[in-house]
Copies of this chain bind each other. A is one copy, B any other.
Amino acid sequence: MSDPQVFLDAALDALGPRGLTLDPDLITPWLTDWRGRYTGAALAMASPASTQELAALVRLCAEHNVPIVPQGGNSGMVGGATPDAQGKSLLLSMRRMNTIGDFDVAARKVTCGAGVVLQTLHEAAERHGLRFPLTLGGKGSATVGGLIATNAGGTQVLRHGSMGALVLGLEAVLADGRVFSMLKPLKKDNRGFDLKQLLIGSEGTLGIVTAATLKLVPVVAERMVIWAGVPSASVARQLLLHCEDAVGQALEGFEIMPHLSIEAVKEHAPSLRPPLAQSHAWHVLIEIVAGQGASEPPAERGAAMLEDAFEKGLLEDAAIAANEAQADGFWLIRDTVPAAERARGPAVQHDISVPVEDMPGFIDAAVPALESAWPGTEAIAFGHLGDGNVHFHVIAPQGSDGVSWQAGDGKAISRQVHDLVTAWNGSISAEHGIGQLKRDELARLGDPVALEMMRQVKRALDPQGLLNPGKLI
Protein backbone atom coordinates (compact mmCIF):
# COMPACT_ATOMS: atom_id res chain seq x y z
CA MET A 1 0.00 0.00 0.00
CA SER A 2 1.20 3.50 -0.82
CA ASP A 3 0.67 6.34 1.71
CA PRO A 4 -2.76 5.64 3.25
CA GLN A 5 -3.47 9.37 3.58
CA VAL A 6 -3.24 9.86 -0.18
CA PHE A 7 -5.75 7.03 -0.67
CA LEU A 8 -8.06 8.36 2.05
CA ASP A 9 -8.04 11.87 0.57
CA ALA A 10 -8.89 10.51 -2.85
CA ALA A 11 -11.63 8.28 -1.41
CA LEU A 12 -13.12 11.23 0.47
CA ASP A 13 -13.14 13.21 -2.76
CA ALA A 14 -14.92 10.38 -4.54
CA LEU A 15 -17.50 9.57 -1.85
CA GLY A 16 -18.03 12.80 0.06
CA PRO A 17 -18.21 13.05 3.85
CA ARG A 18 -21.27 10.79 4.17
CA GLY A 19 -19.48 8.12 2.19
CA LEU A 20 -16.28 7.80 4.22
CA THR A 21 -15.62 7.90 7.93
CA LEU A 22 -12.59 7.46 10.15
CA ASP A 23 -14.59 7.98 13.35
CA PRO A 24 -13.90 5.00 15.64
CA ASP A 25 -17.29 5.41 17.32
CA LEU A 26 -18.98 4.83 13.99
CA ILE A 27 -16.66 2.08 12.80
CA THR A 28 -16.10 -0.03 15.93
CA PRO A 29 -19.57 -1.61 16.13
CA TRP A 30 -19.00 -3.13 12.68
CA LEU A 31 -15.55 -4.55 13.42
CA THR A 32 -16.81 -7.48 15.48
CA ASP A 33 -18.93 -10.21 13.91
CA TRP A 34 -22.31 -10.72 15.53
CA ARG A 35 -21.39 -14.01 17.15
CA GLY A 36 -18.51 -12.16 18.81
CA ARG A 37 -15.81 -14.53 17.60
CA TYR A 38 -13.77 -12.12 15.52
CA THR A 39 -12.71 -8.51 15.97
CA GLY A 40 -10.75 -6.73 13.28
CA ALA A 41 -9.44 -3.29 12.50
CA ALA A 42 -9.94 -1.03 9.48
CA LEU A 43 -8.30 1.93 7.80
CA ALA A 44 -11.71 3.55 7.42
CA MET A 45 -15.31 2.67 6.66
CA ALA A 46 -16.68 3.54 3.22
CA SER A 47 -20.41 3.77 2.55
CA PRO A 48 -20.92 4.47 -1.13
CA ALA A 49 -24.37 5.54 -2.24
CA SER A 50 -24.31 4.11 -5.77
CA THR A 51 -22.68 1.54 -8.03
CA GLN A 52 -20.78 4.35 -9.75
CA GLU A 53 -19.37 5.61 -6.44
CA LEU A 54 -18.37 2.08 -5.48
CA ALA A 55 -16.73 1.47 -8.86
CA ALA A 56 -14.67 4.66 -8.44
CA LEU A 57 -13.72 3.60 -4.92
CA VAL A 58 -12.64 0.13 -6.03
CA ARG A 59 -10.49 1.65 -8.79
CA LEU A 60 -8.80 3.74 -6.10
CA CYS A 61 -8.29 0.67 -3.93
CA ALA A 62 -6.71 -1.17 -6.88
CA GLU A 63 -4.45 1.78 -7.58
CA HIS A 64 -3.35 2.07 -3.95
CA ASN A 65 -3.41 -1.65 -3.21
CA VAL A 66 -5.97 -1.34 -0.41
CA PRO A 67 -7.83 -4.54 0.54
CA ILE A 68 -11.62 -4.29 0.72
CA VAL A 69 -13.89 -6.13 3.17
CA PRO A 70 -17.52 -5.84 2.02
CA GLN A 71 -20.20 -5.94 4.69
CA GLY A 72 -24.00 -6.02 4.60
CA GLY A 73 -25.90 -6.40 7.86
CA ASN A 74 -22.93 -7.96 9.68
CA SER A 75 -25.10 -10.90 10.65
CA GLY A 76 -23.07 -13.64 8.98
CA MET A 77 -22.19 -16.79 10.90
CA VAL A 78 -18.59 -17.35 9.78
CA GLY A 79 -16.78 -14.02 10.20
CA GLY A 80 -16.93 -13.44 6.47
CA ALA A 81 -17.51 -9.69 6.80
CA THR A 82 -14.94 -8.93 9.51
CA PRO A 83 -11.52 -7.57 8.51
CA ASP A 84 -8.30 -8.94 9.96
CA ALA A 85 -6.50 -7.16 12.81
CA GLN A 86 -3.87 -5.40 10.70
CA GLY A 87 -6.01 -2.34 10.08
CA LYS A 88 -4.91 -2.00 6.47
CA SER A 89 -8.27 -2.94 4.92
CA LEU A 90 -11.10 -0.67 4.00
CA LEU A 91 -14.37 -1.76 5.60
CA LEU A 92 -17.04 -1.38 2.92
CA SER A 93 -20.57 -0.89 4.19
CA MET A 94 -23.15 -1.61 1.49
CA ARG A 95 -25.98 -0.41 3.71
CA ARG A 96 -26.60 2.90 1.96
CA MET A 97 -27.31 1.14 -1.34
CA ASN A 98 -30.77 0.20 -0.15
CA THR A 99 -33.15 1.30 -2.88
CA ILE A 100 -36.02 -1.02 -3.77
CA GLY A 101 -37.10 -0.56 -7.38
CA ASP A 102 -40.59 -0.84 -8.84
CA PHE A 103 -42.31 -4.14 -8.24
CA ASP A 104 -43.18 -5.92 -11.47
CA VAL A 105 -46.30 -7.62 -10.12
CA ALA A 106 -47.20 -9.47 -13.33
CA ALA A 107 -43.70 -10.87 -13.88
CA ARG A 108 -43.20 -11.30 -10.11
CA LYS A 109 -39.82 -9.70 -9.76
CA VAL A 110 -38.15 -6.68 -8.24
CA THR A 111 -34.71 -5.10 -8.56
CA CYS A 112 -33.12 -3.83 -5.38
CA GLY A 113 -29.83 -2.60 -4.02
CA ALA A 114 -27.41 -4.85 -2.16
CA GLY A 115 -28.04 -2.96 1.08
CA VAL A 116 -31.77 -3.69 1.27
CA VAL A 117 -32.56 -5.47 4.54
CA LEU A 118 -34.40 -8.78 4.13
CA GLN A 119 -37.28 -7.83 6.42
CA THR A 120 -37.75 -4.54 4.57
CA LEU A 121 -37.96 -6.49 1.33
CA HIS A 122 -40.50 -8.90 2.88
CA GLU A 123 -42.70 -5.99 3.94
CA ALA A 124 -42.43 -4.16 0.63
CA ALA A 125 -43.30 -7.32 -1.31
CA GLU A 126 -46.32 -7.96 0.90
CA ARG A 127 -47.68 -4.52 0.11
CA HIS A 128 -47.78 -5.68 -3.52
CA GLY A 129 -49.47 -8.98 -2.76
CA LEU A 130 -46.20 -10.83 -3.25
CA ARG A 131 -43.68 -12.64 -1.11
CA PHE A 132 -39.91 -13.02 -1.20
CA PRO A 133 -39.65 -16.68 -0.17
CA LEU A 134 -36.45 -16.74 1.88
CA THR A 135 -36.34 -16.11 5.58
CA LEU A 136 -33.90 -16.67 8.42
CA GLY A 137 -33.17 -15.55 11.97
CA GLY A 138 -31.13 -12.51 11.01
CA LYS A 139 -33.76 -11.08 8.69
CA GLY A 140 -33.87 -7.77 10.57
CA SER A 141 -30.27 -7.01 9.63
CA ALA A 142 -29.21 -9.40 6.81
CA THR A 143 -28.99 -7.62 3.45
CA VAL A 144 -29.72 -8.79 -0.08
CA GLY A 145 -26.04 -8.46 -1.01
CA GLY A 146 -24.87 -10.50 1.96
CA LEU A 147 -27.50 -13.16 1.32
CA ILE A 148 -26.28 -13.47 -2.27
CA ALA A 149 -22.60 -13.45 -1.34
CA THR A 150 -23.21 -16.34 1.08
CA ASN A 151 -25.97 -18.07 -0.94
CA ALA A 152 -27.99 -18.04 2.28
CA GLY A 153 -30.55 -20.71 3.16
CA GLY A 154 -33.22 -20.71 5.86
CA THR A 155 -36.46 -22.52 6.50
CA GLN A 156 -38.06 -22.21 3.05
CA VAL A 157 -35.31 -23.77 0.95
CA LEU A 158 -37.24 -27.04 0.71
CA ARG A 159 -39.66 -25.50 -1.73
CA HIS A 160 -38.04 -22.34 -3.04
CA GLY A 161 -34.30 -23.10 -2.98
CA SER A 162 -31.41 -21.17 -1.47
CA MET A 163 -30.76 -17.50 -2.26
CA GLY A 164 -29.00 -18.39 -5.51
CA ALA A 165 -32.20 -19.91 -6.88
CA LEU A 166 -34.06 -16.63 -6.30
CA VAL A 167 -31.56 -14.38 -8.07
CA LEU A 168 -32.78 -13.66 -11.61
CA GLY A 169 -30.33 -10.87 -12.38
CA LEU A 170 -27.21 -9.47 -10.79
CA GLU A 171 -24.94 -6.44 -10.81
CA ALA A 172 -21.49 -6.42 -9.21
CA VAL A 173 -18.33 -4.35 -9.10
CA LEU A 174 -15.26 -6.40 -10.01
CA ALA A 175 -11.77 -6.14 -8.49
CA ASP A 176 -10.58 -3.54 -10.99
CA GLY A 177 -13.69 -1.39 -10.71
CA ARG A 178 -15.46 -2.64 -13.83
CA VAL A 179 -19.19 -3.20 -13.44
CA PHE A 180 -20.67 -6.57 -14.35
CA SER A 181 -24.30 -5.85 -15.13
CA MET A 182 -26.90 -8.49 -15.80
CA LEU A 183 -29.96 -7.19 -14.03
CA LYS A 184 -32.42 -7.88 -16.87
CA PRO A 185 -33.48 -11.47 -16.34
CA LEU A 186 -33.69 -13.90 -19.21
CA LYS A 187 -35.23 -17.27 -18.53
CA LYS A 188 -32.91 -18.87 -21.08
CA ASP A 189 -29.51 -17.51 -22.00
CA ASN A 190 -26.72 -19.70 -23.34
CA ARG A 191 -24.10 -17.11 -24.13
CA GLY A 192 -21.42 -19.07 -22.32
CA PHE A 193 -21.27 -20.22 -18.73
CA ASP A 194 -23.29 -18.52 -16.03
CA LEU A 195 -21.21 -15.67 -14.58
CA LYS A 196 -24.03 -14.78 -12.20
CA GLN A 197 -23.63 -18.17 -10.54
CA LEU A 198 -19.93 -17.54 -10.17
CA LEU A 199 -20.57 -14.48 -8.01
CA ILE A 200 -23.32 -16.09 -5.92
CA GLY A 201 -21.73 -17.73 -2.87
CA SER A 202 -18.29 -16.29 -3.60
CA GLU A 203 -18.37 -14.36 -0.30
CA GLY A 204 -17.15 -11.11 -1.84
CA THR A 205 -13.90 -12.67 -3.03
CA LEU A 206 -14.63 -12.37 -6.77
CA GLY A 207 -16.77 -9.24 -6.91
CA ILE A 208 -18.96 -7.00 -4.77
CA VAL A 209 -22.68 -7.50 -5.38
CA THR A 210 -24.34 -4.11 -5.79
CA ALA A 211 -27.87 -4.97 -6.91
CA ALA A 212 -30.03 -7.93 -7.85
CA THR A 213 -33.27 -8.72 -9.58
CA LEU A 214 -35.12 -11.16 -7.35
CA LYS A 215 -37.85 -13.69 -7.92
CA LEU A 216 -41.09 -13.23 -6.00
CA VAL A 217 -43.98 -15.62 -5.41
CA PRO A 218 -47.64 -15.07 -4.55
CA VAL A 219 -48.42 -14.41 -0.90
CA VAL A 220 -49.58 -17.41 1.06
CA ALA A 221 -53.36 -17.28 1.03
CA GLU A 222 -53.78 -20.04 3.55
CA ARG A 223 -51.49 -22.41 5.39
CA MET A 224 -51.69 -25.45 7.62
CA VAL A 225 -49.06 -25.83 10.29
CA ILE A 226 -48.59 -29.21 11.96
CA TRP A 227 -46.54 -30.31 14.93
CA ALA A 228 -45.79 -34.03 14.96
CA GLY A 229 -44.02 -36.45 17.28
CA VAL A 230 -42.06 -39.31 15.71
CA PRO A 231 -39.90 -42.07 17.17
CA SER A 232 -36.72 -41.59 15.09
CA ALA A 233 -34.98 -39.45 12.50
CA SER A 234 -35.51 -42.26 10.04
CA VAL A 235 -39.29 -42.18 10.53
CA ALA A 236 -39.13 -38.39 10.20
CA ARG A 237 -37.55 -38.91 6.78
CA GLN A 238 -40.28 -41.38 5.79
CA LEU A 239 -42.86 -38.86 6.93
CA LEU A 240 -41.17 -36.25 4.72
CA LEU A 241 -41.38 -38.51 1.66
CA HIS A 242 -45.02 -39.20 2.52
CA CYS A 243 -45.75 -35.46 2.69
CA GLU A 244 -43.96 -34.81 -0.60
CA ASP A 245 -45.96 -37.52 -2.31
CA ALA A 246 -49.22 -36.27 -0.83
CA VAL A 247 -48.99 -32.53 -1.33
CA GLY A 248 -45.99 -32.00 -3.61
CA GLN A 249 -45.03 -28.37 -4.08
CA ALA A 250 -47.44 -27.27 -1.36
CA LEU A 251 -45.00 -28.55 1.28
CA GLU A 252 -43.15 -25.43 2.32
CA GLY A 253 -41.44 -26.37 5.58
CA PHE A 254 -40.24 -29.56 7.24
CA GLU A 255 -38.06 -28.99 10.30
CA ILE A 256 -36.92 -31.57 12.81
CA MET A 257 -35.91 -31.14 16.45
CA PRO A 258 -34.79 -33.81 18.91
CA HIS A 259 -36.32 -34.24 22.37
CA LEU A 260 -33.41 -32.37 23.93
CA SER A 261 -34.07 -29.24 21.86
CA ILE A 262 -37.66 -29.13 23.10
CA GLU A 263 -36.53 -29.59 26.71
CA ALA A 264 -34.06 -26.73 26.21
CA VAL A 265 -36.84 -24.49 24.88
CA LYS A 266 -39.11 -25.35 27.84
CA GLU A 267 -36.35 -24.43 30.29
CA HIS A 268 -35.33 -21.28 28.47
CA ALA A 269 -38.81 -19.96 27.70
CA PRO A 270 -41.35 -21.53 30.07
CA SER A 271 -44.09 -19.44 28.48
CA LEU A 272 -43.75 -21.41 25.24
CA ARG A 273 -45.80 -24.59 25.46
CA PRO A 274 -44.84 -27.40 23.08
CA PRO A 275 -48.00 -28.59 21.30
CA LEU A 276 -47.78 -32.29 22.26
CA ALA A 277 -48.45 -33.51 25.79
CA GLN A 278 -46.34 -36.66 25.60
CA SER A 279 -42.62 -36.91 25.14
CA HIS A 280 -41.26 -37.92 21.72
CA ALA A 281 -37.75 -38.73 20.55
CA TRP A 282 -38.16 -36.33 17.61
CA HIS A 283 -40.44 -33.43 16.83
CA VAL A 284 -41.37 -32.30 13.35
CA LEU A 285 -42.76 -28.95 12.26
CA ILE A 286 -44.59 -29.14 8.92
CA GLU A 287 -46.03 -26.28 6.91
CA ILE A 288 -48.33 -26.79 3.95
CA VAL A 289 -49.46 -23.78 1.95
CA ALA A 290 -52.10 -23.19 -0.68
CA GLY A 291 -50.18 -24.03 -3.82
CA GLN A 292 -50.48 -21.94 -6.95
CA GLY A 293 -53.14 -23.46 -9.11
CA ALA A 294 -54.29 -25.92 -6.44
CA SER A 295 -58.02 -26.02 -6.11
CA GLU A 296 -58.13 -27.82 -2.77
CA PRO A 297 -57.41 -25.77 0.38
CA PRO A 298 -54.28 -26.84 2.30
CA ALA A 299 -56.29 -27.76 5.39
CA GLU A 300 -58.17 -30.48 3.51
CA ARG A 301 -55.11 -31.86 1.76
CA GLY A 302 -53.11 -31.71 4.99
CA ALA A 303 -55.80 -33.47 7.01
CA ALA A 304 -56.01 -36.32 4.50
CA MET A 305 -52.23 -36.56 4.45
CA LEU A 306 -52.03 -36.72 8.26
CA GLU A 307 -54.70 -39.40 8.50
CA ASP A 308 -52.80 -41.50 6.00
CA ALA A 309 -49.55 -40.99 7.90
CA PHE A 310 -51.18 -42.20 11.14
CA GLU A 311 -52.42 -45.31 9.40
CA LYS A 312 -48.96 -46.02 8.04
CA GLY A 313 -47.42 -45.60 11.49
CA LEU A 314 -45.37 -42.57 10.51
CA LEU A 315 -46.61 -40.48 13.46
CA GLU A 316 -46.93 -41.01 17.20
CA ASP A 317 -49.01 -37.90 17.70
CA ALA A 318 -49.75 -34.65 15.91
CA ALA A 319 -51.35 -31.28 16.55
CA ILE A 320 -52.71 -28.91 13.93
CA ALA A 321 -52.50 -25.18 14.58
CA ALA A 322 -56.10 -23.98 14.95
CA ASN A 323 -55.40 -20.46 13.79
CA GLU A 324 -52.66 -18.12 12.64
CA ALA A 325 -51.64 -17.17 16.19
CA GLN A 326 -51.12 -20.82 17.07
CA ALA A 327 -49.23 -21.40 13.83
CA ASP A 328 -46.91 -18.52 14.71
CA GLY A 329 -46.53 -20.10 18.15
CA PHE A 330 -45.41 -23.41 16.63
CA TRP A 331 -42.80 -21.60 14.55
CA LEU A 332 -41.69 -19.57 17.56
CA ILE A 333 -40.78 -22.78 19.37
CA ARG A 334 -38.68 -23.85 16.38
CA ASP A 335 -37.04 -20.44 16.14
CA THR A 336 -36.24 -20.43 19.86
CA VAL A 337 -34.16 -23.62 19.64
CA PRO A 338 -30.82 -21.86 18.90
CA ALA A 339 -31.22 -19.37 21.79
CA ALA A 340 -32.38 -22.10 24.17
CA GLU A 341 -29.33 -24.13 23.34
CA ARG A 342 -26.99 -21.19 23.81
CA ALA A 343 -28.53 -20.69 27.25
CA ARG A 344 -27.68 -24.29 28.16
CA GLY A 345 -23.97 -23.48 28.04
CA PRO A 346 -21.05 -23.19 25.67
CA ALA A 347 -21.24 -25.24 22.49
CA VAL A 348 -19.60 -25.76 19.15
CA GLN A 349 -21.93 -25.45 16.19
CA HIS A 350 -21.78 -27.02 12.76
CA ASP A 351 -23.85 -26.19 9.71
CA ILE A 352 -23.60 -29.41 7.76
CA SER A 353 -25.25 -31.33 4.96
CA VAL A 354 -25.13 -34.88 3.64
CA PRO A 355 -27.13 -36.43 0.76
CA VAL A 356 -30.77 -36.00 1.84
CA GLU A 357 -31.47 -39.72 2.03
CA ASP A 358 -28.45 -40.32 4.28
CA MET A 359 -29.28 -37.74 6.96
CA PRO A 360 -31.11 -40.09 9.40
CA GLY A 361 -28.24 -42.55 9.21
CA PHE A 362 -25.73 -39.78 9.75
CA ILE A 363 -27.56 -38.44 12.82
CA ASP A 364 -27.97 -41.92 14.29
CA ALA A 365 -24.24 -42.56 13.85
CA ALA A 366 -22.81 -39.14 14.70
CA VAL A 367 -24.72 -38.27 17.87
CA PRO A 368 -23.59 -41.33 19.91
CA ALA A 369 -20.10 -41.20 18.35
CA LEU A 370 -19.57 -37.65 19.57
CA GLU A 371 -21.21 -38.11 22.96
CA SER A 372 -19.17 -41.22 23.74
CA ALA A 373 -15.89 -39.72 22.51
CA TRP A 374 -16.45 -36.60 24.64
CA PRO A 375 -18.08 -37.65 27.93
CA GLY A 376 -20.47 -35.11 29.38
CA THR A 377 -21.25 -33.45 26.06
CA GLU A 378 -24.67 -33.39 24.45
CA ALA A 379 -24.94 -33.57 20.66
CA ILE A 380 -28.03 -32.07 19.05
CA ALA A 381 -29.01 -32.12 15.38
CA PHE A 382 -31.94 -29.98 14.32
CA GLY A 383 -33.21 -28.14 11.28
CA HIS A 384 -33.85 -28.67 7.63
CA LEU A 385 -34.23 -32.43 7.15
CA GLY A 386 -35.78 -31.95 3.72
CA ASP A 387 -32.60 -30.26 2.50
CA GLY A 388 -30.24 -32.83 4.03
CA ASN A 389 -29.02 -29.97 6.23
CA VAL A 390 -28.98 -29.89 10.03
CA HIS A 391 -27.32 -27.69 12.57
CA PHE A 392 -25.20 -30.11 14.55
CA HIS A 393 -24.36 -28.60 17.92
CA VAL A 394 -22.24 -30.17 20.62
CA ILE A 395 -22.84 -28.67 24.07
CA ALA A 396 -19.93 -28.59 26.54
CA PRO A 397 -20.04 -30.68 29.74
CA GLN A 398 -21.76 -28.80 32.55
CA GLY A 399 -19.49 -26.35 34.30
CA SER A 400 -17.03 -25.98 31.41
CA ASP A 401 -15.43 -22.61 30.87
CA GLY A 402 -16.72 -21.48 27.49
CA VAL A 403 -13.66 -19.78 26.07
CA SER A 404 -11.08 -22.39 27.01
CA TRP A 405 -13.39 -25.32 26.19
CA GLN A 406 -14.19 -23.94 22.74
CA ALA A 407 -10.49 -23.33 22.01
CA GLY A 408 -9.46 -26.81 23.20
CA ASP A 409 -11.94 -29.71 23.18
CA GLY A 410 -14.35 -27.67 21.09
CA LYS A 411 -11.86 -27.41 18.24
CA ALA A 412 -11.12 -31.13 18.34
CA ILE A 413 -14.85 -31.88 18.38
CA SER A 414 -15.40 -29.68 15.33
CA ARG A 415 -12.67 -31.51 13.50
CA GLN A 416 -14.28 -34.82 14.37
CA VAL A 417 -17.70 -33.64 13.18
CA HIS A 418 -16.21 -32.36 9.93
CA ASP A 419 -14.29 -35.60 9.42
CA LEU A 420 -17.50 -37.57 9.87
CA VAL A 421 -19.40 -35.31 7.48
CA THR A 422 -16.67 -35.69 4.89
CA ALA A 423 -16.73 -39.48 5.27
CA TRP A 424 -20.49 -39.31 4.59
CA ASN A 425 -19.86 -37.33 1.36
CA GLY A 426 -21.27 -34.22 2.97
CA SER A 427 -20.44 -30.54 3.20
CA ILE A 428 -18.93 -28.70 6.19
CA SER A 429 -20.93 -25.65 5.15
CA ALA A 430 -24.48 -26.17 4.02
CA GLU A 431 -25.84 -22.64 4.24
CA HIS A 432 -23.56 -20.33 6.28
CA GLY A 433 -20.53 -20.23 3.99
CA ILE A 434 -16.83 -20.56 4.84
CA GLY A 435 -15.67 -17.05 5.81
CA GLN A 436 -12.72 -17.13 8.17
CA LEU A 437 -14.29 -19.62 10.60
CA LYS A 438 -14.04 -22.65 8.32
CA ARG A 439 -11.30 -21.63 5.92
CA ASP A 440 -8.67 -23.91 7.45
CA GLU A 441 -11.13 -26.80 7.68
CA LEU A 442 -12.04 -26.37 4.02
CA ALA A 443 -8.35 -26.36 3.10
CA ARG A 444 -7.89 -29.53 5.20
CA LEU A 445 -10.93 -31.46 3.97
CA GLY A 446 -11.99 -29.95 0.66
CA ASP A 447 -11.37 -31.69 -2.64
CA PRO A 448 -7.90 -30.49 -3.73
CA VAL A 449 -8.99 -30.18 -7.37
CA ALA A 450 -12.02 -28.07 -6.46
CA LEU A 451 -9.94 -25.90 -4.13
CA GLU A 452 -7.33 -25.30 -6.82
CA MET A 453 -10.04 -24.46 -9.37
CA MET A 454 -11.45 -21.87 -6.97
CA ARG A 455 -7.99 -20.40 -6.40
CA GLN A 456 -7.36 -20.25 -10.16
CA VAL A 457 -10.61 -18.39 -10.72
CA LYS A 458 -9.86 -16.08 -7.77
CA ARG A 459 -6.39 -15.22 -9.10
CA ALA A 460 -7.82 -14.60 -12.57
CA LEU A 461 -10.55 -12.21 -11.41
CA ASP A 462 -8.67 -10.57 -8.53
CA PRO A 463 -4.95 -10.82 -9.29
CA GLN A 464 -4.01 -8.31 -6.56
CA GLY A 465 -6.00 -10.29 -3.98
CA LEU A 466 -7.83 -7.21 -2.72
CA LEU A 467 -11.38 -8.54 -2.44
CA ASN A 468 -12.16 -9.86 1.05
CA PRO A 469 -8.70 -11.35 1.66
CA GLY A 470 -8.38 -14.22 4.10
CA LYS A 471 -11.92 -15.46 3.48
CA LEU A 472 -13.08 -18.68 1.81
CA ILE A 473 -9.84 -19.57 0.00
Contacts and interface: CB of A to CB of B under 8 A. Distances in A.
Contacts of A189: 353, 427, 429-430
Copy number of this protein in the oligomer? Answer: 2
Given A206-B193, A433-B190, A355 B185 contact: yes
Which of A182, A248, A249, A453: most chain B Cβ within 10 A? A453
A293 to B, nearest CB: 3
A342 interface: no
A136 interface: no
A186 B354 contact: yes
Contacts of A106: 241, 357
Interface in A425-470: 425-434, 442, 446-447, 449-450, 452-454, 456-457, 459-461
A447 B189 CA distance: 13
Nearest to A199: B193
Interface in A171-203: 174, 178-182, 184-195, 197-203
A447 B181 CA distance: 8
DSSP class of A's interface residues: helix, strand, loop or mixed? loop
A162 interface: yes
A248 B353 contact: no
Given A178-B449, A181-B447, A295-B296, A188 B353 contact: yes
A341 interface: no
B201 A198 contact: no
Given A174-B453, A357-B106, A430 B190 contact: yes
Contacts of A162: 188, 190
B430 A188 contact: yes
Nearest to A106: B357
Nearest to A441: B191
Contacts of A454: 192-193, 195
Given A295-B301, A449-B178, A453-B174, A191 B248 contact: no
Q: What class of interface size applies to chain A in its complex with B?
A: 35 or more
B199 A197 contact: no
Contacts of A244: 292-293
A83 interface: no
A252 interface: no
A145 interface: no
Interface stretch (A118-126, A149-157, A326-334): A149-157
15 contacts: A179-B449, A189-B427, A190-B201, A190-B429, A190-B432, A190-B433, A192-B434, A193-B197, A193-B457, A245-B292, A248-B291, A249-B291, A249-B292, A251-B293, A457-B457
Report, nearest first, the 7 A-B pairs whose CB atoms are least far apart: A248-B293, A460-B460, A197-B197, A248-B292, A189-B427, A188-B430, A184-B425
Given A157-B187, A188-B353, 14 more contacts: A106-B241, A150-B190, A174-B449, A181-B447, A186-B353, A186-B355, A186-B388, A190-B429, A191-B428, A191-B434, A198-B453, A248-B292, A249-B292, A250-B293
Interface of A: 104, 106-107, 150-151, 153, 157, 162, 164, 174, 178-182, 184-195, 197-203, 206, 241, 244-251, 291-296, 301, 353-357, 384, 387-389, 425-434, 442, 446-447, 449-450, 452-454, 456-457, 459-461, 472-473
